[in-house]
């Protein structure tokens, strides 16, 4: 009896870590779920101060920045604060060799200098409504049309329901308004989000990368950290405050709410909470999915990206122009690479497979006692599918990481070239002229200012070597028969053939074709043939894997249904899905390993200790060094005179939380989330209370850089400090 009680207790511990910090909670359910616990930790607010469906609240100052980051409004004139890496693409697009904002930083000293960013959006959440019952009624109503049984997860179907729910007149009468229904717990719950989307967003300020990306890839996912990862944008609207396309006559938005900034600072143990749009987590993975993630997904990503990044970095360090061209591509690649490494480390170190197995056994025992055998059947189906799809999944990941995303010319569109070949064979002059213009446009989109053919050539050689070593010849795209037969496996010659004999190889080759268009040139073009063959192989693999999708998703829904039935519908938090969430915890350091202790705060001292003028990742701007030598930190210094840079907290975050506001118990802005520590990356699968930390730019460092380094005093005044 004693042993069984111990086992039950251990099972409970494995599924429910004794941590107040775990979870990404829905704002409108705080009172039912977490408000009392938050107030015990130090929250001074009520739930309606955070989310008020009938009035203004903190929620109204938090925005989705672009489609994958978070930002916060910090002034009555629509000033938005987010991460430097969230605005990196926009900063890069405005950079040239003559005006290199990545290297030098950018500060709009007047409103007229603020720079527009086509395609960038900022989204406010206007309302959240649970619609589970209504959606299920609609699913039953539309059952005959749901031939595959997947309407319950279909974004297109659910968003048609969303428009039906609010009515087309509502959308027509509210410019910029969008509605979306998202599934939660794999389709066991549904929420309707009403959103207002602004599209005239202008760059206001960004520190140089030597501040905003200090430590770069070496320090990525690491603590202690010394990065001023922030940038500033502004929302513009029409004269009535409505979303509108860019126009010179647009004016800064007057928002419903903006955050108050606190320069008081933080201490170990202080309450901290964060609002944001976390992207994807896998809290309810089964043990078989955990192993699949480590042994296939992560393993392939780590191996293939390491090869690509080493090749790119070598060229970036050799040529400053290439560094500008490939900075964003390199940064995007390393982020996922390090995430995969940290995820696999956590899976093994904390034995996530065992944790999930215990969770599964608990449900099986509960299901047996309650005569709910469908939950055991669902688990058996998940295990079967994960086992049977393993080989296909590996080949798909190799093709994606090694070629489709690893080689730039593999992504060249081919439809226009194919259509032009047909038009040439039919001598359809009107169609020929139209398609030649289209083909020319596609060439310039591919061969844009951020593309370097010689870098792509070197990357392709390295990636194809790794791909052909890892995938058996009979499972490679059909075009690879040319590599093996005509070039006897010589990858260098194969890549040269693709790039040097294609009309997309360079401007001269394209012009030569345009001077004398010929059908056979298009049909025999090696680059088009390569891209087409890779896409065909990708489609084939996708089609074969898709055969597992319907039974897998249905089994997952049943598995989650069982967990909710066992624990109660409000006992668990749903996996992240880019919907607005709240997480909370404490400002806190940690012990990464025996004998090592990390404090909660870093300072400018650490920047100077890491300085290495011969390493681009750790170059320190001369002006920052001067401010440090003079101790010119103004009102932002710590009591001991040091300048704070970053701090760590136990909040539960993931991708999408980049740029999230970190607030104290009074709801004041004390920092901006920008990363997680290496040891906590596995929190996407299971929270690690002893290890997991959010890495946060101290708001005092942000303000110090704006005021003292940049001299952008108009922005300091605008924030009303």
Instruction: Check if 229 is active-site.
Output: yes
Say what the pLDDT of residue 714 is. 97
Give the per-residue SS3 of 211-245: HHCCCHHHHCCCCCCCCCCCEEEEEEECCCCCCCC
Report the mean per-residue pLDDT for the chain. Answer: 94
What confidence tier does 20 reach under pLDDT thresholds 50, 70, 90? low
| Pairing verdict, β 661-663 and 122-130 | unpaired
40-61 per-position pLDDT tens digit = 999 999 999 999 999 999 999 9
Cα–Cα distance between 97 and 428 in angstroms, integer?
44
Vertex 642 angle, CA 641 and 647, to 5°: 135
Percentage above 70 pLDDT, the chain: 97
Question: Residue 172 CA to chain centroid, in angstroms?
Answer: 31
What confidence tier does 328 reach under pLDDT thresholds 50, 70, 90? confident
Say what the pLDDT of residue 395 is. 98
Assess whether pLDDT exceeds 60 at residue 1: no
Mean pLDDT within 552-581 = 95
Give me the helices (H) in 350-428, please. 352-369, 374-388, 390-399, 415-426
What confidence tier does 9 reach under pLDDT thresholds 50, 70, 90? very low
Tokens standing for residue 650:
């136990």
Assess whether pLDDT exceeds 60 at residue 13: no
Cα–Cα distance between 70 and 91 in angstroms, integer?
17
Residues near 390 by Cβ (< 8 Å), separated by ≥ 6?
Answer: 292, 296
Q: Count the neighbouring beta carbons within 10 Å of the beta carbon of residue 393.
A: 18
Cα–Cα distance between 709 and 212 in angstroms, integer?
13
- Portions of the chain given CATH number 2.40.10.120: 23-121+199-282+573-718
> Of 343, 416, 538, 658, which residue is the catalytic one?
658
> Of 28, 84, 85, 652, which residue is the catalytic one?
85
Residues near 534 by Cβ (< 8 Å), separated by ≥ 6?
Answer: 399, 403, 404, 410, 477, 479
Cα–Cα distance between 364 and 359 in angstroms, integer?
9
Mean pLDDT within 367-371 = 97
Cα–Cα distance between 311 and 291 in angstroms, integer?
30
Q: Which helix (H) or strand (E) holds 585?
A: strand 581-586
Residues near 189 by Cβ (< 8 Å), separated by ≥ 6?
Answer: 130, 132, 183, 569, 574
617-662 per-position pLDDT tens digit = 999 999 999 999 999 999 999 999 999 999 999 999 999 999 999 9
Say what the pLDDT of residue 485 is. 96
Mean pLDDT within 114-121 = 98
Q: Is the model more confident about 327 or about 321?
A: 321
Say what the pLDDT of residue 48 is. 97
Domain spanning 23-121+199-282+573-718: CATH 2.40.10.120: yes
Instruction: Check if 658 is active-site.
Output: yes
Say what the pLDDT of residue 615 is. 86
Mean pLDDT within 313-334 = 89
- Angle, to 10 degrees, between the axis of helix 352-369 and the axis of helix 2-15? 120
* Range of weakest confidence among 16-20, 120-124, 363-367, 465-469: 16-20
Asked if 604 and 643 count as a contact pair (C-beta separation under 8 A), the reply is yes
Cα–Cα distance between 135 and 675 in angstroms, integer?
36
Give the residue from 179, 197, 273 showing the smallest Cα distance to 235.
197
Tokens standing for residue 567:
């624990």
657-688 per-position pLDDT tens digit = 999 999 999 999 999 999 999 889 999 999 98
Question: Considering the entire predicted model, what is its pTM?
Answer: 0.86
389-421 per-position pLDDT tens digit = 999 999 999 999 999 999 999 999 999 999 999
What confidence tier does 177 reach under pLDDT thresholds 50, 70, 90? very high
Residues near 519 by Cβ (< 8 Å), separated by ≥ 6?
Answer: 421, 424, 425
Assess whether pLDDT exceeds 60 at residue 476: yes
Asked if 254 and 79 count as a contact pair (C-beta separation under 8 A), the reply is no
How many helices and strands (H and E) does the chain possess? 30, 20
Assess whether pLDDT exceeds 60 at residue 14: no
Compute the residue count for the chain. 721
Tokens standing for residue 434:
């139209």
Cα–Cα distance between 388 and 224 in angstroms, integer?
43
Say what the pLDDT of residue 684 is. 94
Mean pLDDT within 342-359 = 93
Say what the pLDDT of residue 18 is. 38
Q: Count the neighbouring beta carbons within 10 Å of the beta carbon of residue 369.
A: 8
Mean pLDDT within 339-356 = 92
Cα–Cα distance between 402 and 602 in angstroms, integer?
38
* Range of weakest confidence among 189-198, 457-466, 607-616, 643-652: 607-616
Say what the pLDDT of residue 19 is. 56
> Of 229, 575, 684, 698, which residue is the catalytic one?
229
Name all contacts of 88-96 with Cβ < 8 Å and 24+ positions apart.
88/213, 88/327, 88/328, 88/331, 89/328, 90/115, 90/117, 90/120, 90/203, 90/233, 91/203, 91/206, 91/231, 92/324, 92/327, 92/328, 92/450, 93/117, 94/203, 95/324
What confidence tier does 21 reach under pLDDT thresholds 50, 70, 90? confident
Instruction: Check if 85 is active-site.
Output: yes
């Amino acid at each position: 009896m004693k042993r069984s009680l111990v086992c039950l207790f251990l099972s409970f511990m494995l599924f429910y870590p004794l941590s107040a910090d775990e979870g990404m909670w829905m704002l409108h359910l705080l009172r039912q779920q977490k408000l009392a616990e938050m107030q015990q930790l130090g929250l001074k607010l009520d739930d309606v101060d955070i989310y008020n469906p009938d009035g203004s609240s903190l929620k109204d100052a938090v925005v989705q920045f672009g489609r994958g980051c978070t930002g916060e409004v910090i002034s009555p004139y629509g000033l938005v604060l987010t991460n430097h890496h969230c605005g990196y693409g926009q900063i890069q697009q405005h950079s040239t060799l003559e005006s290199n904002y990545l290297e030098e930083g950018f500060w709009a000293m007047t409103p007229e200098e603020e720079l527009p960013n086509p395609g960038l959006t900022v989204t406010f959440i206007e309302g959240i409504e649970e619609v589970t019952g209504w959606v299920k009624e609609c699913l039953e109503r539309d059952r005959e049309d749901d031939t595959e049984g997947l309407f319950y997860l279909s974004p297109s179907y659910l968003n048609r329901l969303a428009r039906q729910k609010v009515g087309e007149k509502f959308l027509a009468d509210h410019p910029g308004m969008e509605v979306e229904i998202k599934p939660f717990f794999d389709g066991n719950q549904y929420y309707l989000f009403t959103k207002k989307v602004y599209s005239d967003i202008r760059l206001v300020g960004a520190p140089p990368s030597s501040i905003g990306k200090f430590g770069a890839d070496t320090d990525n996912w690491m603590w202690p950290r010394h990065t001023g990862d922030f940038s500033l944008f502004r929302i513009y609207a029409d004269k009535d405050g409505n979303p509108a396309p860019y126009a010179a006559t647009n004016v800064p938005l007057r928002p419903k709410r903006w955050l108050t900034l606190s320069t008081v600072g933080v201490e170990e143990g202080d309450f901290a909470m964060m609002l944001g749009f976390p992207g994807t987590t896998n809290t309810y993975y089964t043990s078989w999915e955990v192993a699949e993630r480590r042994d296939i997904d992560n393993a392939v990503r780590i191996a293939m990206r390491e090869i690509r990044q080493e090749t790119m970095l070598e060229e970036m360090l050799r040529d400053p122009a290439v560094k500008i061209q490939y900075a964003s591509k390199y940064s995007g690649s390393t982020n996922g690479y390090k995430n995969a490494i940290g995820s696999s480390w956590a899976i093994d170190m904390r034995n996530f497979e065992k944790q999930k197995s215990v969770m599964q056994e608990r449900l099986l025992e509960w299901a047996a006692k309650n005569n709910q055998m469908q939950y055991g059947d669902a688990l058996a189906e998940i295990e079967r599918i994960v086992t049977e799809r393993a080989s296909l999944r590996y080949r798909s990941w190799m093709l994606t990481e090694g070629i489709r995303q690893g080689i730039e010319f593999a992504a060249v569109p081919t439809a226009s070239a194919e259509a032009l070949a047909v038009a040439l064979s039919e001598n359809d002059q009107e169609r020929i002229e139209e398609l030649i213009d289209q083909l020319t446009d596609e060439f310039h989109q591919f061969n844009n200012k951020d593309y370097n053919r010689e870098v792509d050539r070197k990357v392709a050689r390295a990636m194809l070597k790794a791909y052909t070593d890892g995938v058996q010849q009979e499972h490679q795209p059909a075009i690879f028969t040319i590599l093996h037969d005509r070039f006897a496996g010589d990858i260098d010659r194969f890549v040269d053939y693709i790039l040097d004999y294609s009309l997309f190889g360079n401007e001269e080759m394209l012009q030569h074709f345009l001077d004398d268009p010929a059908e056979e040139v298009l049909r025999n073009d090696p680059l088009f043939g390569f891209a087409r063959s890779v896409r065909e192989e990708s489609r084939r693999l996708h089609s074969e894997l898709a055969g597992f999708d319907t039974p897998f998703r249905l089994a997952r829904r049943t598995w989650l249904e069982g967990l909710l039935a066992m624990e109660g519908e409000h006992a668990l938090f749903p996996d992240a899905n880019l919907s607005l969430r709240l997480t909370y915890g404490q400002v806190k350091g940690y012990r990464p390993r025996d004998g090592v202790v990390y404090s909660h705060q870093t300072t400018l001292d650490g920047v100077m200790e890491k300085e290495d003028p011969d390493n681009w990742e750790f170059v320190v701007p001369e002006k920052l060094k001067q401010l440090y030598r003079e101790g010119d930190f103004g009102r932002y210094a710590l009591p001991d005179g040091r300048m704070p840079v970053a701090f760590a907290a136990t909040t539960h975050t993931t991708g999408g939380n980049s740029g999230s506001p970190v607030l104290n118990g009074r709801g004041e802005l004390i920092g901006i989330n920008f990363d997680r520590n290496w040891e906590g990356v596995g929190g996407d699968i299971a929270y690690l209370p002893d290890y997991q930390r959010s890495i946060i730019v101290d708001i005092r460092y942000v303000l110090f850089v704006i005021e003292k380094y940049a001299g952008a005093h108009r922005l300091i005044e605008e924030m009303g400090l």
